[in-house]
Amino acid sequence: MKETKGEETPDSQGLNQEQSLKERPIMSGLQNNLALIRSELGNSTDIVIREVGVPGSGGLALAVIYADGLADKQSVSEFILESAMMRDRMKHGEGENSNQASPQALAQDVLTISDTSEISHYGRLFTALLSGEAIILVDGYDSAIAAGTRGWRDRGINETLTETVVRGPKEAFTETLRTNTAMIRRKIKDPHLWLETRQIGRITMTDVSIMFIKGLADDKVVEEVRLRLDRIDIDGILESGYIEELIQDETYTPFPTIYNSERPDVVAAELLEGKVAILVDGTPMVLIVPALFVSFLHAAEDYYHRFDISTLIRTLRYIGVFIALYSPSLYVAITTYHQEMLPTRLLYSLAAQREGIPFPAFIEAIMMEVAFEILREAGLRMPRTIGPAVSIVGTLVIGQAAVEAGIISAAMVIVVSITAIASFVFPSYSMANTIRMLRFPLMGLAATFGLYGIIIGTFAIVLHVSSLRSFGVPYMSPFAPLILSDQKDAIFRLPHWAHFTRPKLVNRSNQRRQQNPKSAKPKP
């Protein structure tokens, strides 16, 4: 066998060539630069290269390069080409005036566009070019100018479809990063709202930004977010779900440990509590860390109604969690092992319904739950105009036909229907998916051990969620550990004048929200 130590594979050679190109400095010859750009981009037809001569510059030549569809053509024409061709501001000579034709002088004295930056390496040049910026190369200089001309078409600001509210703002994030950051800044007009942007993905070079309020966010959490994002080494990031899975604390858990939302008011409220937002270009879903279990059961509308109405709605929501998680398993356990717990008349009624049913209660529950999940998934994936109709009609028809055929009891259809309705009370879709997943193992435990199995499953769930952390913060806070001062916004919501402190474990540096809470309390 030949010794292969020290030899490079074709993949490693291509990677080394790519890295060397990114680190390679720009050449001074204009035609050499243009030839290299055309070669690297494969003479792509959407890359526009315009070579022009600058009047009054002694024959100075420059080239403007931009990607059609990503850059704003009007900005390129008016603020770059027109400024360079129609204004006699540049001089080309020797000695003291030799630097007046440099790209720096071009950006400072000639171009009328505001956002410009100097580029010295090809890596930054290609990234800026394919991000919608216009590149200006001047013959005889080994640097270039990137002008901010991003102008691709994007979706307008519309109402959110996943986090609807009756009262509150109707706007939602879009797929454009800069639009999303502007929507947050419009709500928080504070100079301490800091924004840091990095590019992640070796091929996609996706812009990922972290947003936090300096002085409110924990510096350790912010630094941990930076470290986890910088550790990501992947070909591409197409949605924030990539980032969520790569930076979460615990991988093997059904519970989401990173909160996400497409509402600017929700993200602004979380930032005011000292949390960190992660925005990814190309998706309207913004990630928020650290995430607590209670955050997934709170809705934006809870803070827009009066506190008593919000408390009632939250209580109903927690009851819905219990129903969605335990209803099928309780029905299976009681009808299989603990019939003595039922009233006599109800027991007779259930026994009469189950007469002739060929399957045990557990198989009934599994069949109905699987059928409902398939119908719900089909309703989501089908065209919007017929999806809801198909899911509703399919559920009614299949349920009625199964009861009439003697395959499923009517009581099981009622239980599954109540469970399905209760699963829609979750403000967060990710937590609803978690409850859907946990429902099946609980039914298996109920069919095997009865109520004892449900208790065992509940203990396992409680122990698991109590061990979870989100960026160093206990996931079940403020319940475990129990923090009495934070119970004002957990299950119940006290009036706004009583929210004079921020969550204790999330914000350690600046916990006071109001300087004098008693003065904010309305007088009777």
Number of domains composing the chain: 3
Which of 202, 131, 166, 457 lies closest to 313, judged by CA?
166
Residue 500 has pLDDT above 60, yes or no: yes
In a domain, residue 300? The reply is no
What pLDDT, in 10s, does the model give residues 228-262? 999 999 999 999 999 999 999 887 899 999 999 99
> Is residue 58 very low, low, confident or very high in pLDDT (cuts 50, 70, 90)?
low
Q: Minimum mean pLDDT among 50-59, 250-259, 487-496: which range?
A: 50-59
* Same domain, residue pair 443 and 316: yes
Percent of the chain with pLDDT over 90: 40
* Same domain, residue pair 357 and 216: no
Residue 4 has pLDDT above 50, yes or no: no
Residue 13 has a pLDDT of 47
In a domain, residue 1? The reply is no
In a domain, residue 164? The reply is no
* Same domain, residue pair 348 and 394: yes
Q: In what order do the strands lie in the sheet with 144-147?
A: 47-53, 61-67, 134-138, 144-147, 116-119
In a domain, residue 425? The reply is yes
Residue 320 has pLDDT above 60, yes or no: yes
> What are the distances in angstroms from CA 498 to CA 221, 304, 367, 503?
27, 15, 48, 13
Please report, as a single letter, which amino acid is at residue 136: I
Residue 85 has pLDDT above 60, yes or no: yes
Segments of 111-183 assigned E as strands: 116-119, 134-138, 144-147
Most trustworthy range by pLDDT among 17-26, 70-79, 129-138, 403-412: 129-138
pTM of the prediction?
A: 0.84
Q: Which two tokens stand for residue 100?
A: 């007046």
Q: 410-422 and 361-381 helices cross at what angle (nearest 10)?
A: 50
Other residues' Cβ atoms within 10 Å of the Cβ of residue 406: 12
Residue 97 has a pLDDT of 45
Residue 343: helix, strand or coil by DSSP?
coil
* Same domain, residue pair 276 and 411: no
* Same domain, residue pair 284 and 349: no
In a domain, residue 514? The reply is no
* Same domain, residue pair 322 and 244: no
Residue 296 has a pLDDT of 93
CB 503 within 8 A of CB 479: no
Residue 327 has a pLDDT of 93
> Is residue 330 very low, low, confident or very high in pLDDT (cuts 50, 70, 90)?
very high
* Same domain, residue pair 466 and 429: yes
Q: Whole-angstrom Cα distance, residue 325 to residue 264?
A: 30
Residue 357 has a pLDDT of 85
> Is residue 3 very low, low, confident or very high in pLDDT (cuts 50, 70, 90)?
very low
* Same domain, residue pair 287 and 311: no
Residue 196 has pLDDT above 80, yes or no: yes
* Same domain, residue pair 259 and 368: no
Residue 86 has pLDDT above 80, yes or no: no
* Same domain, residue pair 372 and 314: yes
* Same domain, residue pair 407 and 458: yes
Last residue of a domain, one of 457, 474, 491: 474
- Structural domain including 414 reads 307-474
Residue count (the chain):
524
More confident residue, 421 or 382: 421
In a domain, residue 2? The reply is no
Please report, as a single letter, which amino acid is at residue 337: Y
Give the gyration radius of the chain's Cα atoms: 30
Taking residues 440-468, what's their average pLDDT?
Answer: 95
Last residue of a domain, one of 262, 291, 320: 291
In a domain, residue 484? The reply is no
* Same domain, residue pair 131 and 182: no
Q: Which two tokens stand for residue 445?
A: 């435990």
Residue 20 has pLDDT above 90, yes or no: no
Last residue of a domain, one of 97, 127, 147: 147
Mean pLDDT for all residues in the chain: 84
In a domain, residue 165? The reply is no
